[in-house]
Amino acid sequence: MPAAPRVDVILPCLDEAAGLAWLLPRLPADARAIVVDNGSTDASCVVARAHGALVVHELRRGYGAARHAGLLAASADVVAFCDADGSLDPADLARVTRPVLDGEADLVVGRRIPARGAWPWHLRLANRELARRVRRRTGVRLLDVGPLRAARRVPFLDLGLQDRRSGYPVETVVAAAAAGWRVREVPVRYRPRSGRSKVTGTPLGAWRAVRDMTRILRTPPARASAGGAVEPPRTTIVLAKAPVPGRAKTRLIGAFSPDDAAQLAAAALADTLDAVLASGVEHCVLVLDGEPGPWVPAGVRVLPQRPGGLDRRIAHAFDDVLRTCASPALLVGMDTPQLGTVLRDVDFAGHDAVLGLAADGGFWAVGLREADPDLFLGVEMSTERTGAEQLDRLRAAGLRVALLPPLRDVDVPDDATDVARAAPGTRFARTWRALTGTADHRVGHSDDEVEAGPWTSHR
């Protein structure tokens, strides 16, 4: 039986077959490669497996998304991050991992020493300016915000990084400094890469990367909570019905046709999924009654709902999802398309569960650290006492419960009217206005301004 690796090396990958073929055979013997495929169309995965790498697939595009997926798949005590394009020499891995393994540093970042032609002047200048801003923001004296770095896996996960784009490397340093980590910089070699960079290989890509990193530096420090640092959910479960006429939003039928009710259901579900993805959650799982369609966005995993009453479906959803996804987990339905801004404030710090009560007496969200069917089975659903009974059940189990802001579910036509008017920029509201022939008469806002608001889809 092979020895467990001392270091897991996480390699984000998008069409990097040539780079992997050069890099993987040169990894140290005590390191395991985790190649995170971010949608490659070349032979990257074949090359990775041929060299014994663990291959992880991350459907959600983004440099940070790929890095974080690799972090979740890792098991070694120490993790290192490295680009897969052959620009970084695996022989330098020991320089960044040894201080961490020896307990001399908590985060080690490789400062790139470029070979001729390896680093275009405009990218070098942009990196130098970012490093200066990082020093000014954090006090950590880095000369390079480089991709080669190492840290211990569990403390790294505890940093709770949220960015899933190009800002992930900068957010790592900002969060590490805020946590009081010892950060060290060591020189590493930097070679001409194979192929063109997917992040900075074009002026537009370079601009986007700098924009993402600058946004992280402009973000205020995370708010404090009673339990210390903020702890958002790492997994969000969306419990929903497929938006099929005659099966979805049936309590709207009468005021709307079955087809129109299904359109409203589809809009509410799209708003919900977009809001969950925009919240930066690590795992978004749609637990679906019905068949998925092309309307499921990239980055969303789909599981079938189990049969039974709503209490059983909720219990089974937590059980099924938390077998493979990280906790804490938040479960929401498809009846609150206005939930976007509230999701960003969900905080488990100091609590075992969270509960969002609904205006009709039910609840619109519930979150747990651990799946436990007894927390739901037997709670009478869809009554004006459901929310109170669910809260009593959680507290009777000895759980510390945080209450989320109350929201109104869309169940009946009056609910649809009120939610559409309260959140006019949502897809749900636009669909409701189209179906009812209602114009948006808010003073000082045109329809174009509403369409371009924060509820607009990111896809």
Q: Do 252 and 293 share a structural domain?
A: yes
* Residue 358 region by backbone torsions, left for phi larger than 0, else alpha for psi between -120 and 50, else beta: beta
What pLDDT, on the 0 to 100 scale, is given for residue 141?
84
381: in domain: yes
HEC per residue, the chain: CCCCCCEEEEEEECCCHHHHHHHHHHCCCCEEEEEEECCCCCCHHHHHHHCCCEEEECCCCCHHHHHHHHHHHCCCCEEEECCCCCCECHHHHHHHHHHHHCCCCCEEEEEEEECCCCCCHHHHHHHHHHHHHHHHHHCCCCCCCCCCEEEEHHHHHHCCCCCCCCCHHHHHHHHHHHCCCCEEEEEEEECCCCCCCCCCCCHHHHHHHHHHHHHHHHCCCCCCECCECCCCCCEEEEEEECCCCCCCCHHHECCECHHHHHHHHHHHHHHHHHHHHHCCCCEEEEEEECCCCCCCCCCEEEEECCCCCHHHHHHHHHHHHCCCCCCCEEEECCCCCCCHHHHCCCCCCCCCEEEEEECCCCEEEEEECCCCHHHCCCCCCCCCCHHHHHHHHHHHCCCCEEEEEEECCCCCHHHHHHHHHHCCCCHHHHHHHHHHCCCCCCCCCCHHHHHCCCCCCCC
Q: Do 37 and 168 share a structural domain?
A: yes
Closest CA to 100 of 82, 120, 79, 129: 79
In order of 25, 36, 57, 74, 79, the CA distances from 11 in angstroms are 14, 6, 12, 11, 11
Q: Per-residue confidence at 4, pLDDT binned at 50, 70, 90?
A: low
pLDDT in tens, 321-343: 998 898 999 999 999 999 987 88
What pLDDT, on the 0 to 100 scale, is given for residue 381?
93
Q: Which of 185, 218, 251 is the last residue of a domain?
A: 218
Q: Do 248 and 213 share a structural domain?
A: no
The answer to whether residue 193 scores a pLDDT higher than 90 is: no
The answer to whether residue 444 scores a pLDDT higher than 60 is: no
Average pLDDT over residues 91-114: 95
Closest CA to 268 of 438, 430, 447, 60: 430
What pLDDT, on the 0 to 100 scale, is given for residue 167?
82
Q: Do 214 and 139 share a structural domain?
A: yes
Q: Do 163 and 20 share a structural domain?
A: yes
Across the chain, what does the average pLDDT equal? 85
Closest CA to 162 of 151, 170, 154: 170
pLDDT in tens, 213-262: 666 665 554 444 444 467 889 999 999 999 999 998 999 999 999 999 99
227: in domain: no
Q: Per-residue confidence at 82, pLDDT binned at 50, 70, 90?
A: very high
Our count of domains for the chain comes to 2
Handedness of CA 221, 226, 227, 233 (dihedral sign): negative
Neighbour order of strands in the sheet with 283-289: 300-304, 283-289, 235-241, 329-332, 363-368, 353-358, 401-407
The answer to whether residue 458 scores a pLDDT higher than 70 is: no
- For residue 150 the two structure tokens come to 């190492």
pLDDT in tens, 5-50: 789 999 999 999 999 999 999 999 989 999 999 999 999 999 999 9
- Greater confidence (167 vs 284) lies with 284
228: in domain: no
Q: Which of 191, 218, 245 is the last residue of a domain?
A: 218
Domain extent, residue 96, equals: 7-218
Highest mean pLDDT among 77-91, 161-175, 208-222, 428-442: 77-91
Residue 130 CB: number of other CB atoms within 10 A? Answer: 21
The answer to whether residue 201 scores a pLDDT higher than 50 is: no
Q: Do 71 and 114 share a structural domain?
A: yes
Measured CA to CA, the distance from residue 459 to residue 452 in angstroms comes to 13
Q: Do 201 and 248 share a structural domain?
A: no
Q: Which residue has the tokens 């398309």?
A: 337
Q: Do 300 and 170 share a structural domain?
A: no
The answer to whether residue 122 scores a pLDDT higher than 80 is: no
Q: Do 264 and 146 share a structural domain?
A: no
2: in domain: no
230: in domain: no
What pLDDT, on the 0 to 100 scale, is given for residue 214?
62
- For residue 332, the Cα-to-chain-centroid distance in whole angstroms is 16
What pLDDT, on the 0 to 100 scale, is given for residue 332?
97
Average pLDDT over residues 338-353: 87
226: in domain: no
In order of 62, 213, 249, the CA distances from 381 in angstroms are 39, 45, 17
Q: Do 332 and 214 share a structural domain?
A: no
Residue 328, preceding bond cis, omega within 30 degrees? yes
The answer to whether residue 452 scores a pLDDT higher than 80 is: no
Q: Which of 187, 218, 249 is the last residue of a domain?
A: 218
Highest mean pLDDT among 130-139, 168-177, 386-395: 386-395
The answer to whether residue 54 scores a pLDDT higher than 90 is: yes
Q: Do 352 and 206 share a structural domain?
A: no
What pLDDT, on the 0 to 100 scale, is given for residue 228?
46
Q: What is the CATH number of the domain that holds 416?
A: 3.90.550.10
Measured CA to CA, the distance from residue 246 to residue 235 in angstroms comes to 30
What pLDDT, on the 0 to 100 scale, is given for residue 110?
95
The pTM (predicted TM-score) of the whole model is 0.51
Cβ contacts of 111 within 8 Å, gap of 6 or more: 142, 143, 144, 146, 185, 186, 187, 188
What pLDDT, on the 0 to 100 scale, is given for residue 442?
38
What pLDDT, on the 0 to 100 scale, is given for residue 169?
87
What pLDDT, on the 0 to 100 scale, is given for residue 62?
83
What pLDDT, on the 0 to 100 scale, is given for residue 118?
75
**% of the chain residues with pLDDT over 90:** 60
pLDDT in tens, 180-189: 899 999 999 9
Q: Do 252 and 124 share a structural domain?
A: no
Angle, CA 168 vertex, CA 329 and CA 279 arms, to 5°: 35
What pLDDT, on the 0 to 100 scale, is given for residue 342?
87
pLDDT in tens, 300-310: 999 999 999 99
- Greater confidence (316 vs 58) lies with 316
pLDDT in tens, 400-435: 899 999 999 999 999 999 999 988 889 999 999 999
229: in domain: no
Average pLDDT over residues 146-161: 91
The answer to whether residue 273 scores a pLDDT higher than 90 is: yes
The answer to whether residue 457 scores a pLDDT higher than 60 is: no
CB 187 within 8 A of CB 113: yes
Q: Are strands 107-114 and 183-190 parallel, antiparallel or unpaired?
A: parallel
What pLDDT, on the 0 to 100 scale, is given for residue 217?
64
Q: Per-residue confidence at 212, pLDDT binned at 50, 70, 90?
A: low
457: in domain: no
What pLDDT, on the 0 to 100 scale, is given for residue 63?
86
pLDDT in tens, 127-152: 888 888 888 888 888 999 889 999 99
